[in-house]
Amino acid sequence: MSGDAGTGKHVSACSGPADFGRFVRAHGGSRALVVQPRMGFGTPAEMRTGLLATKYADARTVGTITLDSYTRVGELGAVDRALRDGMALNGYPLVTHDRATTTAVLAGIVDAGFPVQVRHGSAVPHDIFAALVAMRMNATEGGPVSYCLPYGRTALAQSVRNWAECAERFAGLREFGVEPHLETFGGCLLGQLCPPSQLVAMSVLEALFFFAHGIRSLSVSYAQQTNLDQDVEAVFALRRLCAELLPVENWHVVIYAYMGLYPTTDAGAYRLLGQAAELAVTTGSERMIVKTVAESRRIPTIGENVAALEHASAAGTAAAPGGGPPEGDSQTYREAAALVEAVLNLDEDIGRALLTAFARGYLDIPYCLHPDNRGRTRSYLDEQGRLQWADLGSLPLSPVVRSGRGRRVTSSSLLADLSYMQRKFDSPWPDSGRGPARSVRTGQRGVGR
């Protein structure tokens, strides 16, 4: 075993992929937050540089390979043309590059002390999973709902079939002595203005879907929303439901830094990122996906990604540990439990249950335009910045939701809610000069999602 310079990490000489879930569970939680970027690069050289920079950041990190947008939608001919013509891609074309190329990208980087996750965004991910299995790459993310509704018009029934097939194929990695890990993106639906209870419910339901199709190493996501106290309540509700319903112990929680309109100032961006780290530490979450100071302006550089990783890690270390989950049933727990129970009671097969739930409106994502989403629910921010239901549509929440129902949402109020966090964190605060602990300067740029 040897230590990485300046990080306190220990890296094994083993070249095989670590069990991603067990690695995060071993090194995350409390104030020992595992942090992760969202970067992806079109050329093998840039992708390798980004992974190296992530590995040797002054933080406990895991790596990311984010795929390009053509690969995500299955337009592999467009990838071939781009590579042939020397056109820039906004992510790594894992499916198109041969195995030797990707092996060279990962050589000497991926090991028991630095696992790597592949991120994509596809409702039709067969080619992606085929490449993952061929490469013995054992960590990725998505979901039948969360990678369908926000990203295109693929029929939900087709996405459910696709993800069932791909999860079962991915689970086959165990035949080669490799533990596959899947993270549900369900806690990040549309990124914003989805009340926390539905984010929690969707994350739990997709994790149960993955388990039903053979996955035994899981992570559940939650995207930072608009009120820290409500977010803390939501993550504790997520943890409780997972403990009650998931039939495995190898699961953890990943927090996403805010996915809506990001602050335009560096100080505001770092404050918001620091609050996400505080959320993770307060709730005992093990992993965090960071965002950078460049989010509102352009694709971030490698250096900006590393600075965000280090800032989040430092903020997590400085945050006071939480006091534990609330006693009794919180409002978010009651709502999320009601949603999960209603869906699970629809059918023994969770894929069919999800389809029936959306058809009946038991699950209905506010402001989502996908044709398989009813689109009858509405949400709003109250005076404390907490997300509330304005219209329940057919959600089975009437017994547990009181305030806000029937409130009229206008276009102007919706726009104000969408920019709430940007305005709040760009406003001058006493610590407005606070920035990253240190800056890493490299010029490469990549893309995250």
Residue 153, domain CATH = 3.20.20.240
In this predicted structure, the answer to whether residue 415 has a pLDDT above a threshold of 50 is yes
pLDDT at 434: 43
pLDDT at 264: 87
Residue 136 placed within a domain: yes
Reduced to 3 states, what is the DSSP secondary structure of residue 36?
strand
| Nearest-angstrom CA–CA distance, 273 and 234 | 18
Q: What is the pLDDT of residues 385-405, one digit of tens each?
A: 899 999 999 999 999 997 666
Question: How many CB atoms sit inside 10 A of residue 194's CB?
Answer: 22
The structural domain count of the chain equals 1
pLDDT at 293: 83
Q: Could you tell me the pLDDT band of residue 191, with boundaries at 50, 70 and 90?
A: low
pLDDT at 35: 96
Q: Find the mean pLDDT for residues 4-29.
A: 64
Residue 3 placed within a domain: no
Number of H helices and E strands in the chain, helices first, is 15, 12
Residue 7 placed within a domain: no
Residue 438 placed within a domain: yes
Q: What is the pTM of this model?
A: 0.90
Helix residue ranges per DSSP H, 73-138: 76-85, 99-106, 126-135
Q: Find the mean pLDDT for residues 417-429.
A: 79
| Nearest-angstrom CA–CA distance, 312 and 295 | 15
Q: What is the CA radius of gyration of the chain?
A: 21
In this predicted structure, the answer to whether residue 106 has a pLDDT above a threshold of 80 is yes
Range of the domain at 425: 16-449
Residue 399 placed within a domain: yes
Residue 24 placed within a domain: yes
> Measured between alpha carbons, how far is residue 411 from residues 373, 378, 416 in Å?
20, 12, 9
How confident is the prediction for the chain on average, in pLDDT? Answer: 88
Reduced to 3 states, what is the DSSP secondary structure of residue 332?
helix
Q: Find the mean pLDDT for residues 346-375.
A: 96
Strands 217-223 and 2-3: unpaired
- Closest by CA to 259, choosing from 210, 226, 218, is 226
Q: Could you tell me the pLDDT band of residue 446, with boundaries at 50, 70 and 90?
A: very low
In the chain, pLDDT over 70 holds for what percent of residues? 90
Residue 5 placed within a domain: no
Q: At what angle do helices 350-360 and 331-344 cross, to 10 degrees?
A: 110
Reduced to 3 states, what is the DSSP secondary structure of residue 123?
coil
Q: Could you tell me the pLDDT band of residue 171, with boundaries at 50, 70 and 90?
A: very high
In this predicted structure, the answer to whether residue 68 has a pLDDT above a threshold of 70 is yes
Q: What is the pLDDT of residues 229-270, one digit of tens each?
A: 999 999 999 999 999 999 999 999 999 998 887 888 888 889
Residue 437 placed within a domain: yes
In the chain, pLDDT over 90 holds for what percent of residues? 70
